[in-house]
Amino acid sequence: MPTMLQVSGLNHRYGGGDGAHVAVRELSFTVEAGQLACIVGPSGCGKSTLLRCIGGLIKPTGGTVRLHGDLVDGVPDDLAVVFQDYSRSLFPWLTVLGNVEFPLRSLKMSRDERRARAREALAWVGLADADRKYPSQLSGGMQQRVSIARALASRPALLLMDEPFASVDAQTRFELEDLLRRVQRERNSTVLLVTHDIDESVYLGDRVLVLSSSPATIVADLPVGLPAERDQITTRESAEFVTLRAEVARLLRDRNAAAEQALAEQVATTEQVSTGRANR
Ligand SMILES: Nc1ncnc2c1ncn2[C@@H]1O[C@H](COP(=O)(O)OP(=O)(O)OP(=O)(O)O)[C@@H](O)[C@H]1O
pLDDT in tens, 84-108: 887 788 999 999 999 999 999 988 8
Identify whether 30 is part of a domain. yes
- Residue with the larger pLDDT of the pair 261 and 28: 28
Stretch 171-195: mean pLDDT, rounded?
Answer: 93
Decide whether any atom of ligand 1 lies within 6 Å of the 14 Cβ.
Answer: yes
Summarised one tens digit per residue, pLDDT across range 233-278 is: 999 999 999 999 999 999 988 876 766 666 677 667 666 666 666 6
Asked if residue 15 has pLDDT above 80, the reply is yes
- Would you say residue 19 lies in a domain? yes
Query: How many separate domains does the chain show?
Result: 1
Report how far ligand 1's centroid is from the alpha carbon of 154 (Å). Answer: 29
Query: Which has the closest alpha carbon to 178: 148, 150, 151, 157?
Result: 148
Pairing between β-strand 62-67 and β-strand 70-71 as defined by DSSP bridges:
antiparallel
Q: What is the ipTM of this complex?
A: 0.95
Tell me if 204 is assigned to some domain.
Answer: yes
111-124 confidence digits (pLDDT tens): 999 999 999 999 99
Assign 42 a pLDDT band (cuts: 50, 70, 90).
confident
Question: For the chain, what is the mean pLDDT?
Answer: 90
The residue range of the domain holding 229 is: 3-34+44-72+196-279
Closest alpha carbon to 180 in 141, 238, 224? 141
Write down the pLDDT at residue 213. Answer: 83
Query: Does a structural domain hold residue 215?
Result: yes
**Residue whose CA lies nearest to ligand 1 atom number 17:** 48
Residue 223 resides in a domain: yes
| pLDDT of 150 higher than 90 | yes
Is residue 25 in contact with ligand 1, taking CB distance under 6 Å?
A: no
> Is residue 239 situated within a structural domain?
yes
pLDDT at 156 over 90: yes
65 within ligand 1 shell (Cβ under 6 A) = no
Mutate which of 43, 47, 198 for ligand 1? The one with the most ligand atoms within 8 Å of its CB, which is 47
Instruction: State the pLDDT at residue 255.
Output: 72
Q: Tell me if 53 is assigned to some domain.
A: yes
Across the range 118-147, mean pLDDT stands at 94
What residue's CA is closest to ligand 1, atom 23?
Answer: 44
Residue 245 inside a domain? The answer is yes
